[in-house]
Amino acid sequence: MHNDTRRPFRDAQEDVEAIREVPDTPQTRAPAYRLAFADPEFLWRDELRPVRLQLELMKPELVMKEFGIDSTIVLFGSARIPEPARRGEAATETLADYTRYYDEARKFARLITEKSQRNGKHHVIVTGGGPGIMEAGNRGAAEAGGVSIGLNIVLPHEQAPNPYITPDLCFNFHYFGIRKMHFLLRAAAIAIFPGGFGTLDEMFEALTLIQTERMDPVPFLLFGRAFWEKVINWEALAEAGTISRADLDLFTFVETAEEALAVIERWTSKG
């Protein structure tokens, strides 16, 4: 979004345009002559990593602020769970059975977005921007006629953002850490569907921030009690004393979109 605030100093973009008109000489062709902020090779240097980290933090923050995004509902889950119509493409029989979670994620995002339409840019769905459960979240928001956010990341294998993300709110990241910050900076609730390493990483990061009071508590919804109790022995952690029993109250198991929505509404009504 263009900033119309007038400044007494010459605009940086004007200088980028002007430098294209300078005479072509050995001096002007040399890398040293490039404007530092318009020199990709300079910005890619190891010594500039702090600057790149700052840029990845600031760009989505400024865009979302200008777009008016006040709060988000975070949706995590496996990229490998297809929609039910494509269950035959699932790699395992279990994944084929989990296509029901695609539908629940899609419905959950649609219900959340239908309600948020009455409140401007509150409770906007944000996903990792990829396929599977992430696609379902953005898709449900689009079907409700609302916007949604996608936080994609560059991976070794080509991954395009799913087509349901609002284009102006589709971001791409190099740094996992900065991406995870943006998931939680505006989070009013976190919904987690069955997933793998990435989903587990995101779940435990958020739980740790809440447990250690580095982040305010929010409705923390785990879709599919059977899955989560099979892959994680929560009771064993409490019995061993590696977490307190009260930590088991940081999250709630739900099975349906309606259940999840009811938890969020109860939380909101209690302030």
* Three-state DSSP state, 24: coil
Judge whether residue 132 has pLDDT over 90: yes
Q: What is the mean pLDDT of residues 206-214?
A: 97
Report residue 158's pLDDT band, with 50, 70 and 90 as the boundaries.
low
Question: Do 66 and 169 form a contact (C-beta atoms < 8 A)?
Answer: no
Q: Among positive and negative, which fits the CA dihedral 66, 269, 208, 136?
A: negative
The predicted pLDDT at position 71 comes to: 96
Contacts of 206 (CB under 8 A, 6+ apart): 74, 183, 184, 187, 190, 215, 220
CA distances to 113, 187, 191 from 120, in Å: 10, 16, 21
Helix (H) / strand (E) element for 104: namely helix 99-116
Percent of the chain with pLDDT over 70: 96
CB atoms under 10 Å from CB of 221, counted, come to 24
Judge whether residue 117 has pLDDT over 90: no
More confident residue, 109 or 116: 109
Helix 257-269 crosses helix 99-116 at what angle (to 10 degrees)?
40
Q: What is the mean pLDDT of residues 5-20?
A: 81
| Domains of the chain, start order | 59-266 (3.40.50.450)
122's tokens:
């509150």
